[in-house]
C-alpha cells in the first residue's frame, strides 16, 4: 500500500485553457459487442499543458486506457470513436485535429512515435520479441529523425544510457526476453522517448514494478521531461505517484471526467464526492489517523447499464433525490481553475453555487447520512 508524500505546496497549478499540447473535446468511444454497446468514453474533454504532467485516475474500467488509445487512434476493434475532437499542437506545426486523419493513414503514422509516444504497463505490448532493442529504437529514429544509420545508432546509444540502462552498447544486440522486467520497462521508455515526442502517454507504466525500480523509472521520466520539455498524460491507480509526478489531475468515473484540478487543489480540497471517497480510501503520512481505511460503497454499474442522471448517484452519500437521479451534471468551472461535474457545486441550470451553499449542502448531507434536498437553490 502506498502512503502519500507530496512535493512542496505550489508545485502544481492549473493551466487549463492555456498552451495545451493536446486538447481532447467531447470524445466518445463505443465498443459494439454482440451483447450490446459499451460506452467506454462518454464525452471526455481534457487538455495537457505543454511541459506539464496530467494525471488521469479512476477505478478499473472507467475508460482511462481507452482515452489514451483514442488519442493515438489505436482503439482495438470493435471499438469506434463516434464523436469528438483531438487537437494536437506539436512544436513548429499548425494545430491539427487528429480525428481528421484516417487511423491507418501516413499522416497518423507520422504523429505516432514522432509527436506522441506511448508507454504501457506491459513492455511486451510495445517491444517486438523478434528484434533487438537496438534495432527497434534505431528503426523509429530512422523513420522520424534521420536517414543516416550511424547517426541513428549514436542516438539510440544516447537514449539507452539516458534511461539509466547499464552497458547500452550491449543492448544494441540484446533481445527483449534477455532483459529483466525493470530493464524491459526502461527499454520501452527509451523507445517511446527516442523521437523526443511532444506528448508522452504513460498508461500505468510502473504498476508491475517493485517500489525501487518504480522510483527509478519515475526519476528517469522526470529528467527526460525536463530535458526535452515534453508533456505527459500519466494514467495510474496510484495516488502516491500522482502526488509526486503530476501538475494537474483528471478524475474519471464511468467514461467521464468528474473533476479536473491542480494536484494541490485536488489533494487539499477535493470537490466531487467520488474524488473525496478516493482520497479517504488511501493512507496519509502524518495524519495520525488510526483504524480501517474507507472503501467506496457499492460497485460500478455494469458495462451495458443505462443509468439516468449522475452516473455516481447510486453510490453517492450526498445524492439528492429528484435531482441527481434525473439530470446528468456537466463538467463546469467552479471559479478556482478547477472543474467539477456535480450538482453540489452548480445547480441543474449550470449556475455555480455560492461557497456558503456548498458548505450548507455538505453539512446537511453529513448530518442526515445523505442529503435529501428536493429542489436546487
* Region near ligand ATP per CB under 6 A, out of 5-13, 59-67, 288-296, 352-360: 59-67
Site size toward Mg ion (CB under 5 A) is 1
Binding partner selected for residue 76 from ligand SF4, Mg ion, ligand ATP, none, CB under the kind-specific 5 to 8 Å limit: ligand ATP
Candidates 65, 206, 244, 262; binder of Mg ion (CB under 5 A) is 65
The C-alpha cell 510495445 sits at: 126
Task: Please choose which of Mg ion, ligand SF4, ligand ATP, none residue 33 contacts, taking the beta carbon within 5 to 8 angstroms, the exact cut-off set by kind.
Answer: ligand ATP
Contacts of 218 (CB under 8 A, 6+ apart): 206, 241, 244, 245
The set of long-range contacts for 365-374, using a CB threshold of 8 Å and a minimum separation of 24, is 365/317, 365/318, 369/317, 370/317, 370/318, 370/319, 371/318, 371/319, 371/320, 372/320, 372/321, 373/320, 373/323, 374/320, 374/321, 374/322, 374/323
Asked if 60 interacts with ligand ATP (CB under 6 A), we say yes
State the minimum distance, in angstroms, from the CB of residue 253 to ligand SF4: 9
Cell of 139: 528503426
Q: Least Å distance between CB 298 and ligand ATP?
A: 17
Q: How far apart are CA 331 and CA 257, in angstroms?
A: 7
318 belongs to the binding site for ligand SF4 (CB under 6 A): yes
For helices 181-193 and 133-144, angle between their N-to-C axes, nearest 10 degrees? 10
Instruction: Dig out the grid coordinates for 5 from the structure.
Output: 508524500
Q: Using CB under 6 A, which of 232, 249, 344, 373 touches ligand SF4?
A: 344
The reply on whether position 253 binds ligand SF4 by CB under 6 A is: no
The span of 57-65, 135-143, 282-290, 347-355 binding ligand ATP (CB under 6 A) equals 57-65
Q: Which residue of 39, 89, 101, 313 would you call a contact of ligand SF4, by CB under 6 A?
A: 313
Give the nearer residue to ligand ATP in terms of CB position, either 232 or 334: 232
Q: Which stretch binds ligand ATP (CB under 6 A): 56-64, 172-180, 209-217, 318-326?
A: 56-64
Q: Are 165 and 187 in contact (CB under 8 A)?
A: yes
Work out what residue 178 binds among ligand SF4, Mg ion, ligand ATP, none; the CB cut-off runs from 5 to 8 Å by kind. Answer: none
For ligand ATP (CB under 6 A), the number of binding residues is: 16
Among residue numbers 253 through 282, which ones bind ligand ATP (CB under 6 A)? none
Q: What b/e readout covers 160-171, taking b as 16+ CB neighbours within 10 angstroms? A: bebbbbeebeeb
Least distance to ligand ATP, CB of residue 33, Å:
5
Task: Judge whether 85 and 277 are in contact, CB under 8 Å.
Answer: no
- Binding segment for ligand SF4 (CB under 6 A), chosen from 137-145, 173-181, 330-338, 340-348, is 340-348
State the nearest-atom distance from the C-beta of 188 to Mg ion, in Å: 16
Q: Grid coordinates in use for 174? A: 540484446
Q: Which does 343 bind (CB under 5 to 8 A by kind): ligand SF4, Mg ion, ligand ATP, none?
A: ligand SF4
* Helices assigned H by DSSP within the chain: 64-71, 106-111, 133-144, 149-162, 168-171, 181-193, 211-228, 239-245, 263-268, 273-280, 355-368
If one asks whether residue 260 binds ligand SF4 (CB under 6 A), the answer comes out as no
Residues 222/28, Cβ–Cβ less than 8 Å: no
Q: Which residues are near ligand ATP by CB under 6 A?
A: 31, 33, 38, 40, 58, 60-66, 76, 79, 237, 303
Q: Which residues are near Mg ion by CB under 5 A?
A: 65
Amino acid at each position: 500500500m502506498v502512503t502519500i508524500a507530496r512535493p512542496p505546496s505550489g508545485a502544481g497549478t492549473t493551466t487549463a485553457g492555456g498552451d495545451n499540447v493536446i486538447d481532447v473535446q467531447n470524445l466518445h468511444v463505443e465498443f459494439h459487442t454482440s451483447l450490446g454497446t459499451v460506452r467506454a468514453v462518454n464525452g471526455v474533454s481534457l487538455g495537457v499543458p505543454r511541459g506539464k504532467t496530467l494525471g488521469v485516475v479512476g477505478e478499473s474500467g472507467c475508460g482511462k486506457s481507452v482515452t489514451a488509445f483514442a488519442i493515438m487512434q489505436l482503439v482495438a476493434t470493435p471499438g469506434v470513436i463516434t464523436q469528438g475532437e483531438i487537437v494536437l499542437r506539436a512544436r513548429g506545426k499548425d494545430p491539427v485535429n487528429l480525428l481528421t486523419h484516417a487511423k491507418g493513414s501516413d499522416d497518423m503514422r507520422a504523429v505516432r512515435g514522432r509527436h506522441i509516444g506511448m508507454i504501457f504497463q506491459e513492455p511486451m505490448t510495445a517491444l517486438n520479441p523478434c528484434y533487438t532493442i537496438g534495432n527497434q529504437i534505431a528503426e523509429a529514429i530512422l523513420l522520424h529523425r534521420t536517414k543516416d544509420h550511424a547517426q541513428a545508432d549514436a542516438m539510440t546509444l544516447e537514449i539507452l544510457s539516458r534511461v539509466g540502462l547499464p552497458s547500452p552498447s550491449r543492448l544494441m544486440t540484446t533481445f527483449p526476453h534477455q532483459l529483466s522486467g525493470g530493464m524491459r520497462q526502461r527499454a520501452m521508455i527509451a523507445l517511446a522517448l527516442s523521437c523526443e515526442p511532444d506528448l508522452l502517454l504513460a498508461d500505468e507504466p510502473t504498476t508491475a514494478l517493485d517500489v525501487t525500480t518504480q522510483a527509478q523509472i519515475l526519476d528517469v521520466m522526470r529528467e527526460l521531461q525536463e530535458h526535452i520539455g515534453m508533456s505527459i498524460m500519466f494514467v495510474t491507480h496510484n495516488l502516491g505517484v500522482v502526488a509526486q509526478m503530476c501538475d494537474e489531475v483528471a478524475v474519471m468515473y464511468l467514461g467521464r471526467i468528474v473533476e479536473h484540478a491542480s494536484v494541490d487543489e485536488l489533494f487539499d480540497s477535493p470537490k466531487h464526492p467520488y474524488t473525496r471517497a478516493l482520497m479517504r480510501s488511501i493512507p496519509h503520512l502524518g495524519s495520525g489517523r488510526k483504524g480501517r481505511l474507507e472503501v467506496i460503497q457499492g460497485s460500478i454499474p455494469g458495462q451495458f447499464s443505462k443509468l439516468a442522471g449522475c452516473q455516481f448517484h447510486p453510490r453517492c452519500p450526498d445524492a439528492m433525490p429528484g435531482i441527481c437521479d434525473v439530470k446528468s451534471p456537466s463538467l463546469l468551472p467552479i471559479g478556482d481553475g478547477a472543474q467539477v461535474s456535480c450538482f453540489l457545486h452548480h445547480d441543474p441550470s449550470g449556475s455555480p453555487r455560492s461557497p456558503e451553499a456548498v458548505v450548507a449542502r455538505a453539512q446537511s448531507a453529513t448530518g442526515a447520512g445523505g442529503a435529501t434536498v428536493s429542489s436546487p437553490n
